[in-house]
Structure 1
Amino acid sequence: MSTDDIPTQERADWYHDIIANTVAPTRMAFTNPATFAARAGVLNLEKTGVSRFSLAALQAWRTPRLIRQNDPEHYILALITGGAMQVSQLRNDTLVRPGEAVLFNTFHPYNASTASEEGAAFILLHIPRAAAPLPVDRLDEVLARPFITRQGIGAILRQFLTSLESHAPACTPHDFRLLDKTVLDLASGFLAHRFDAWETLSHKTRNRVLLQRIDAFIDRRLNDPALTPQAVADHHHISLRTLYTLFEQHGEGIAATIRHRRLERCRTDLTRPELAAYPIHAVARRWGFTNPTVFSRAFRHTYGSTPQDFRRQARQPSNEPATALSPPQRQDTQKDAPSRNSRTRESSQA
């Protein structure tokens, strides 16, 4: 959904209605109503929901009167992806930038505004109060306080929510139920980590969150030949037996998981024309295979052909020069800014 097809004079009303229906009825002031533009996307899972917004500068208030009139009783975890937002609730006030998140709820008054005339972009995770992963009084302690999402479980949660936009259209209703459970587990682990309150989570939730963390750790270290089940267990401070038990529920053992993901990365690289000049053993070594014979045997067993035959079949003409073989790099950027204000509207009259 976007304002692109909405008449200019109706755009503020359109966005006002979108927020009332996806978040909660809210009072708004638009810095420049005549040029206001916004995009929005909404995905309802089962208990939770995810929405994405990018918008021009504005300020929004959730007032006591609006709360009395209509309250969905949701916690909202906002992950900032562009610009910056100023958020105030329960005497807390914070400026949230890209790579950070902030928690607020619909049942206490709040004030939220873009921090510059360029506007902002963010992803919202909607969690019903009844499904809140921690006691309400604990969550109230961190309303309108910044969370870092550039590393650890915060980064896993952010990547998971970001990927939903691309992959959700291909999901079935059964997939949505699984995604709902996963996102609630990740949010629970993320918030529990802030409080050092793992003991408040259920045993199943702790295990599912741990599996998500292990999965992300494996993906980051696939190029390391020293990535073994023992290394994974040591990094997460669990016994090898506990690790094996966790992966029994996963449907694939830990060693098989590591091997399969390495083979998939090698298989992808063998189809890349710009890497055609690189020896197969170099591609294998890039993803943690130190013994070419072991790699070739595992590849043939998994895909039914040797790496050489597979590359030959997949090869396409390319004049691109060979590029250096190095693991993909990730980086976060930050952007700062000042403030704004103007015209006011309210979703309900009383």
Structure 2
Amino acid sequence: MSAAEVSVSDRFDWFVDAVSSALMPSTMIAENPGGFYAEGGLLNTGPVQVSRFSYSPLRSRRTPRLIRRGDPEQYQLALVTRGTAWFAQDHSEAEIRAGGMVLWDTSRPYESASGLDGRDVEAFVLQIPKERMALPSQQVDRLLAQRIPAGTGVGAILSQFLVSLADNGPDCRPQELAGLGNMAVELAASCLTQQLGTVREQPAELRAHVLLRRINTFIEHNLADPELTPRAIADHHHISLRTLYLLFQNQEESVAATIRRRRLEHCHADLANPRLRDQPVHAIAARWGFTQPAAFSRAFRTTYCTTPTEHRHHSPASQ
């Protein structure tokens, strides 16, 4: 989308509406509203959204009132690829030049200024729902409005990935985009962890939390694989089976129960999907890793107190 398609007098208002809709409600003041320039694009990968904006110098502010008006409850990580920008949040502030990144929390007030040198700015923004962030909030809070280098290490890999994702993502299929979105979240978490210090320097509790989130993500991505077992999960993450069981010791369910529940939830949703009514029950079960129809039916009935066929027949879509 481009402001060039909008009349000159309306371009700044168009950009404010576009950013407020794509990212979060904010107030903005342009240095030159009459000659304002902006272009933008959005890529929805499923778990996260990647936005790219190029725009003229402006100032932006997010107040408690605007937060009450709309809060996507996200961490937003911006990569500045042209121009300069300044961000302030939670008693921290940082000036970001091309090649740098900065993180902010949509649930907190913030201020920013772009184009400090009078030039247009280009930035890529990765929007990560807070529930998908693999780091505890008290750790992430230490990085708000702090400059995050993107020239070496994981930061460089993440920045290059974001640019490539924005450029090539529109040519990918939805299922491919979902996988790429999860990769972006993992890279972002690794980058932030690197900023906090090396993994070995992190408290054991934090390392366990990060590893558990990675394992849960791995499980979700591989539910269709009938070979997804606790042993396979432990081997993939280079840990012992005992370590894996200890990670889940304080969770509400065991690792095997987690796999079974998530598979059943997907089957439950697919059986109620009118677009899948022509697919046999056993085919849907197999899609989510259940290779034995009888075992699937028993597990489904135990969990939902009805058979898969009865659930499909009584779902609202079949009425």
* TM-score normalised per structure 1: 0.58
The residue that corresponds to 2:267 in the other structure is: none
Within a 5 Å distance, the mapping from 1:287-302 to structure 2 comes to none
Larger RCO, structure (CA 8 Å, separation 6 or more):
1
- Pair 1:59-2:59 in alignment: yes
Contact 2:86–2:96 (8 Å) recurs in 1: yes
Contact 1:58–1:119 (8 Å) recurs in 2: no
After TM superposition, the runs of 4+ consecutive aligned structure 1 residues lying more than 4 A away are: 245-248
- Pair 1:166-2:175 in alignment: no
Amino acid of the structure 2 residue aligned with 1:144:
A
**How many angstroms does 1:119 deviate by?**
2.5
Post-superposition Cα deviations, 1:130-168, rounded to whole Å, max 9, x if no partner, equal: 112211111111100001110111111111111012211
Structure 2: gaps of 5 or more residues: 200-206, 219-234, 239-319
What is the distance in 1 between the residues matched to 2:166 and 2:185?
17
Contact 1:72–1:106 (8 Å) recurs in 2: yes
Amino acid of the structure 2 residue aligned with 1:177:
A
The residue that corresponds to 2:91 in the other structure is: 91
Contact 2:134–2:213 (8 Å) recurs in 1: no
SS at match of 1:42: strand
The structure with the greater share of residues assigned to helix is: 2
Structure 1: gaps of 5 or more residues: 210-244, 249-350
1:201 corresponds, among 201, 210, 213, to 210
Post-superposition Cα deviations, 1:34-70, rounded to whole Å, max 9, x if no partner, equal: 0000110100111211000110010000011111111
**How many angstroms does 1:23 deviate by?**
0.8
The residue that corresponds to 2:21 in the other structure is: 21
Contact 1:102–1:143 (8 Å) recurs in 2: yes
Contact 1:92–1:145 (8 Å) recurs in 2: yes
**How many angstroms does 1:247 deviate by?**
11
**How many angstroms does 1:124 deviate by?**
0.3
Number of paired residues? 213
SS at match of 1:141: helix
| Identity across matched positions, percent | 33
Within a 5 Å distance, the mapping from 1:1-350 to structure 2 comes to 1-114=1-114, 115-196=116-197, 198=199, 199=207, 200-202=209-211, 205=214
Larger CA deviation: 165-174 vs 95-104:
165-174
**How many angstroms does 1:196 deviate by?**
2.6
Larger radius of gyration: 1
The residue that corresponds to 1:328 in the other structure is: none
SS at match of 1:10: helix
Give me the CA root mean square deviation.
Answer: 2.2
SS at match of 1:201: helix
